[in-house]
Amino acid sequence: MLGANKLSQVSERQMHRVRWVLTIGWLVMIGSLFWDPVSSYLTDPAAMFSPLQFDPDQCVQVQGQCLPQKPYSVGLFIFWSLVIPASILILLVFGHETWRRICPISFLSQIPRALGVQRKRKVESRNSAGATRYELVKIRKDSWLGKYHLYVQFGLLTLGLAARLLFINSNAIALGIFLITTIVAAIAIGFLYEGKSWCQYFCPMAPVQLVFNGPRGLLGSEAHQGPRQTLTQSMCRTTDKEGNEKSACVGCQSPCIDIDAERTYWEVYSKPGRRFVQYGYVGLLLGFFIYYFLYAGNFDCLFSGAWLREENQTTMLFSPGFYLLNQAIPIPKFVAVPLTLVLFILFSYGILTFIEKDYRKSLRKRNKTVSNQQVAHTIFSICTFFCFNAFFFFTSRSLLSPFPFPIHLLFNGFIVLVSTLWLSRTLNRSSELYTRESLANTLRRQLSKLTIDFSRFLEGRSMEDLKAEEVYVLAKVLPGFNQEQSLQVYKGVLRETLEQGNADSASSLEVLRPIRQELNIKDEDHFAVLTELSSVEPDLLDPKKRRTRENQLRIESYRQALASMLLDLLDSGMSLQEAMQRQRKQIQFLKLEYGMTSEEEEEVLNQILAGEKSTILRKADTLLEQMRQLAGRDRVLHNQILNAQTPVFKFLRLTAVQQKQQILTKQMLGLLEVLGDASEALELAGTTRALAIAVLPEILQTVDGSAQTWKSRLKPEVLAVLEGTSSSPNPLENSPLEQWAPNLSAADLSQTEVTNPTSATSEHSLALAIVLDELLAELDPLIQALALYGLNVLDPQAATAKAEQVLSITNPGHWLIQETAETLLSRNQEQMANEVQTLIAQVMLRGKVEKQTFQQPVVRVGSSPVNDIVLPSPAVAKHHAIFYLDGEDYSVLDLGSTDRGLYVGDKHLSSDRDHLAQGERICFSESADPSITVYWDKQPLIKKAPTETLGTLDKVMLLYESRFFRSLNPDALIELGRDAIVKIYSRGDHMCRAGDPSDSILLLIDGTAEVMIQRGDAQQTVGTVNVGETIGEMGVLTRQKRSASVISVSDYCRVLVIQADRFDAVLRQDPEVSRNLLVVLSSRLQSMTSKINTTWQVTQKGKR
């Protein structure tokens, strides 16, 4: 492997010289096919001392007759017997990167790029209306050619082999024309399309590379191991004036075999044509060699090399193409050749596809879990092994014919040895192993950044010497490796994974699961790190701007080229505008070459020219923009009059707003610390205070990793602004909703529809619908589930549609989202099947508005407590009016108890009735207080009977509303809620008995219960348990038996049961949970002590 690494690291300058030598040799060889004064001396039968001479008296029978032979061109021999076999050997042994770096046709295809004469197309700029720019034409991934190029390349390969059997084998002129045509085609493609489009989409050799390279050549390099990749694995490199190597990638294909061959191998597994190329090539190879037997009636022509000396090959096109059982078959050769190749291709593809399926079935029968990709990889590898040996079995006979038999054995033994070594190593590869090694290498790089002396633990080895599994073990057992350092390392791994395009923000949770397990990182920490990354680099997580390694190298190549072009001029004192104007043509050429957009160019310029302060201010602007959006969401969630006390919106504020505000605020404080007392710092501090007032006081008191509070780290002037003691004005005070949340524009609010007009018609309710829709697109599954639940509170019909959409996705998401969608969908469908007409009354009394809902046909109104709507006001009689169902609508009847009657809109009723309209207000005097505004709608029938069915999210919010569990983090609540069960007790049932084991904690969610203890022969009530209170938590924590009995005193009591072992498991997993519970229990004990002291003091006073 050392030799392989050295070979792959040969400098581009040296390889450039090698390419020139090979290209010149290639062109000389092609020239010799047209004019060759040398071959006659080397291949003539009379040239006895030449290894290339042949015996003209040797009879090589073809279709029962001796084949006429002639002296042949040395160029033919070099190309067919040396170049082609050498390319196959290079691919399997040294890998594609060696072949691609020396291929002459690939080198010649870049002539248009070197001359700057490539085809361009005009595109409209997205930033400026009417502005246009030019870019080189690129074969897009979603185009027909981008999808199906493997079929095109395999078809060209098949045509080339057919042409060889028909025209080219022994015809030097025909071969010369064929090679020149190929070169012209490669140059033409280089003009028509950017980058190495010839190699990636058209070259007939590409399928051969795909087959014989596999994941990696025997001595090939490993792009996913070692230092972070800044250069391609093979071609697309260049050097600057100082001789330093730079990437010249323009991102013409993704994934690209020239950047990481093994990654491409696994990612293109399901690409159209991939399986066809691998399995079809077996048939193509066999069909090509076996045709010699089908045509001649024996293998003598192939093994002797007589095919190289055949006279007048083209005159045989119409002669019989098959000769079987000493009988010529009257099918012309020009038909027989393609027919044979196609039939062999189809047969091999069919039989190998069947073998793959049968192998997969046999593994399943033996209960072996192997992915379809791994099954195909096994068959692919065996096919490559077979093709490599078969190729050299057929070709080596003629090449080695001048040598003695032991040489034949040595050569064939070498071929078998090489291919066996390649097969044994390749069969052990898998996509999972590649990913694990890639992550381990990323982890290695991040660990190396820590200020830890690793040499103490590695016994003289370096970090680079460690294998993947050893890196994971090191991360797990490293002494002094605390949680903060784990998060720091994980953050670096996550950032690099996203930058490299190995995962996107959505898939990173699953892709990095092995790393989290080794570093003991929780899922909620993953989402916190994602939020932190998005605060600094929002584009990193934007699904519309998913990064790829190819795109990253393309932009880096442009940055390096532009930097070398501008920095010398800037260092000489020239302004940026002058430097860019002087190099305008060269910059325009670079933009065309690398396909740079205006946004990408601006980003690169900022990276090259930005100073430290301007970089900090740009980061601050990014943070403030995100903080404004969070502040807008917080205001929308907080200002819902209807839903202010709904637990789901409280929980959403905590998880979707406040936790993110803490992360962003800490980031901003870090920037303020760097800015010191600069004028910009004061302005930023004022805006920060306005946007993060809910979390800022606590953060300022927090001690971070530096063992100092933010108060001690910030300048006094900045701290004064943050604490509000400065006279600086609040820049966002009394600002409209649109300024707090730019996404919630008036246009958005006017276009947003809520299907339940009786429950949400205000601007804030429409804004809430927009915020919930945004939260449904968040990465955190808890936030998504809460948003879906909140949407169901706001608008069940819209929530039903969203739930159906979630469940219809092919790749299921997190289990919590799936379960929440299923629960809501089932619940809503059940409720919709039992809908009844429902009166919604918004009752105003003494300036306060309360919503009341009724489903009975008659609703009584009056000041007496026996009424359904009780209005204790002098203006209202004891029995004043009734609302009654009138068909599908409602009417009101004044009962004539007072002379004032009723006021319905502009009408005055006295002992009369009136048909009501939606939203009509009924007053009891000329004053608007008290009054009742009525709506009605079909709503699910409210059931009085309890249910034992609750979703995990229902249980999580019940736990969150409990004082005992509220301090737990969301992950702990989810773990407890997922396993918690609901039990229902009737009046008089024992929920628990004194003396029983404390095996569970009970949370009362409906009804009332009494706590009883035994006093002699009687039981005495010592307390009452109300909704939201817990039972038995002290016994579970202290491992003692129940100290009292708890009995239901309601018609029914519904409790949530948390098993003690599950609760203990959560405590063990997260020490922070234990600390929070200690705070809660300490508070409760202090409260109980205070009550006992008060009772004792009262008792003592009574005795006196």
The answer to the question of residue 231 being in a domain is: no
771 and 903 both lie in a single domain: no
Most confident of 55-59, 455-459, 962-966: 962-966
Q: What is the pLDDT of residue 793?
A: 84
Q: DSSP string spanning 47-98?
A: -TT-TT---TT---EETTEEPPB----HHHHIIIIIIHHHHHHHHHHH-HHH
Assess if residue 515 is contained within a domain: yes
Average pLDDT over residues 985-1010: 89
> Cα–Cα distance between 53 and 46 in angstroms, integer?
7
Q: State residue 108's pLDDT score.
A: 92
Identify the residue with better confidence: 1015 or 30: 30
Is the pLDDT at 586 greater than 60? The verdict is: yes
pLDDT above 50 (res 393):
yes
In this structure, the answer to whether residues 527 and 540 fall within a common structural domain is yes
Nearest 10 degrees: Cα torsion 169, 172, 174, 178: 90
pLDDT higher at 388 or 441: 388
Give the integer Cα–Cα distance in Å for 125 and 226.
40
* Residues 6+ positions from 200 with CB-CB distance below 8 Å: 139, 149, 206, 252, 253, 256, 257
| CA 971 to each of CA 664, 779, 1074, 1080: distance values in angstroms, whole numbers, following the listed order | 21, 15, 14, 18
* 174 confidence band (pLDDT: 50, 70, 90): very high
Same domain, 141 and 46: yes
Interstrand relation of 858-862 and 869-870 (parallel, antiparallel or unpaired) = parallel
Mean pLDDT of the 434-445 span: 85
pLDDT for residue 483 is more than 80? no
Tokens representing residue 574 in the block: 């020239």
Counting residues of the chain whose pLDDT is more than 70, the rounded percentage is 83
Q: What is the pLDDT of residues 763-773, one digit of tens each?
A: 667 888 888 88
Peptide linkage before 204 cis (omega within 30 of 0):
no
First-to-final CA distance of the chain: 95
Which pTM was predicted? 0.73
- Supply 1052's token pair: 């029914």
| Cα–Cα distance for residue pair 1023/199, rounded to 1 Å | 82
* Distance of alpha carbon 368 from alpha carbon 355, whole angstroms: 17
326-367 pLDDT, tens digit each? 899 999 999 999 999 999 999 999 999 999 999 999 998 888
Give the pLDDT of residue 760.
Answer: 41
902 shares a domain with 826: no
| Residue-level pLDDT at 58 | 80
Q: Which domain holds residue 627?
A: 612-741
Q: Are residues 373 and 520 in the same domain?
A: no
Structural domain includes residue 947: no
pLDDT over 60 at 1034, yes or no: yes
Residue 889 pLDDT level (bands cut at 50, 70, 90): confident
Distance of CA 787 to the CA centre of its chain: 21
- Enter the tokens of residue 504: 């996107």
Among the residue ranges 8-12, 44-48, 210-214, 258-262, the one predicted with the least confidence is: 44-48
For residue 921, pLDDT over 80 is answered with yes
Q: Is the pLDDT of residue 2 over 50?
A: no
Residue 1043 per-residue DSSP state: -
Residue-level pLDDT at 641:
43
Reported confidence tier of residue 1082, pLDDT bands at 50, 70, 90: low
Do 1034 and 957 share a domain, yes or no?
yes
Predicted pLDDT of residue 543: 64
Most confident of 18-22, 284-288, 493-497: 284-288
In this predicted structure, what is the pLDDT of residue 267?
Answer: 86
- Is 395 within a domain? no
For residue 404, whether the previous peptide bond is cis, meaning omega lies within 30 degrees of 0, is: no
pLDDT of residue 761: 46
Amino acid 728: pLDDT:
54
pLDDT of residue 1072: 61
840 beta partners: 853, 935
Q: Please tell me the predicted confidence (pLDDT) of residue 262.
A: 86
Report d(CA 748, CA 738) in Å as an integer.
10
* CATH value at residue 885: 2.60.200.20
Is 711 domain-assigned?
yes
Mean of the per-residue pLDDT values of the chain: 81
The answer to whether residues 530 and 593 belong to one domain is no
Instruction: Mark which of 688, 718, 741 sits at the end of a domain.
Output: 741
pLDDT recorded at residue 1039: 80
Least confident of 121-135, 776-790, 816-830: 121-135
For the chain, give the number of residues: 1104
The per-residue pLDDT for 749 is 39
Widest CA span of the chain, in angstroms? 141
pLDDT band at 674 (very low <50, low <70, confident <90, very high): confident
Name the domain boundary from 889, 918, 940. Answer: 940
Same domain, 879 and 1026: no
Q: Specify whether 888 is located in the same domain as 989.
A: no
Residue 388 lies in a domain: no
3-state SS class at 849:
strand
For residue 472, count CB atoms less than 10 angstroms from its CB and return exposed for 0-12, middle for 13-18, buried for 19 or more.
buried
| pLDDT value at 754 more than 70 | no
Do 371 and 439 belong to one domain? no
pLDDT at position 876 over 90: no
Last residue of one domain, picked from the residues 906, 940, 974: 940
Confidence at residue 331, expressed as pLDDT on a 0 to 100 scale: 94
Q: How far apart are CA 779 and CA 774, in angstroms?
A: 11
Provide the 8-state DSSP code for 464.
Answer: G
8 A C-beta contact, residue 1035 and residue 1042 = yes
Stronger pLDDT, 991 or 522, i.e. the higher one: 991
Report the 10 Å Cβ neighbour count for 950: 19
Of 582, 667, 570, which Cα lies nearest the Cα of 621? 667
Q: Per-residue pLDDT averaged across 368-390, rounded?
A: 93
Of 15, 417, 18, the closest CA to residue 218 belongs to 417
Q: Are residues 209 and 323 in the same domain?
A: yes
DSSP 219-275: T---TTSSSPP-S-SSS-EEE-TT--EEE-----SSS-TTT-HHHHHHHTTTSTTHH
* pLDDT greater than 90 at residue 320: yes
The pLDDT of 1043-1061, averaged and rounded, is 89
Indicate whether 967 belongs to any domain. Answer: yes
pLDDT for residue 744: 45
The lowest-confidence range among 76-90, 285-299, 335-349, 675-689 is: 675-689
What secondary structure letter does DSSP report for 703? B
Choose the weakest-confidence range: 104-113, 128-137, 914-923, 935-944.
128-137
* Gap between the Cα atoms of 1046 and 1035, Å rounded: 14
Cα 1084 to Cα 963: distance, rounded to the nearest angstrom: 10
> What is the structure's pLDDT at 945?
53
**Sheet order of strands, 1052-1059 included:** 981-986, 1052-1059, 1000-1006, 1030-1031
Res. 501: pLDDT tops 60: yes
Distance of alpha carbon 488 from alpha carbon 494, whole angstroms = 10
| Residue that is written with structure tokens 């789901």 in the block | 648
Dihedral, CA atoms, 127, 133, 134, 138, nearest 10 degrees?
A: 10
Instruction: Reply yes or no on whether the pLDDT at 1013 is more than 80.
Output: yes
Number of domains in the chain: 7
pLDDT at 469: 81
pLDDT digits (tens, 9 = 90+) for 213-230: 989 899 888 877 766 666
Question: 751 pLDDT exceeds 60?
Answer: no
- Tell me if 750 is assigned to some domain: yes
Q: Over 80: is that where the pLDDT of 911 sits? A: no
Work out the pLDDT band at 737, boundaries 50, 70, 90.
very low
Task: Look at residue 4 and tell me whether its pLDDT is greater than 50.
Answer: no
Query: Is the domain of 648 the same as that of 587?
Result: no
Query: How large is the average pLDDT for residues 684-703?
Result: 84
Confidence of residue 90 (pLDDT cuts 50, 70, 90): very high
Distance CA(499)–CA(859), nearest Å, equals 64
Sheet (strand 869-870) strand order: 869-870, 858-862, 881-886, 889-894, 913-915
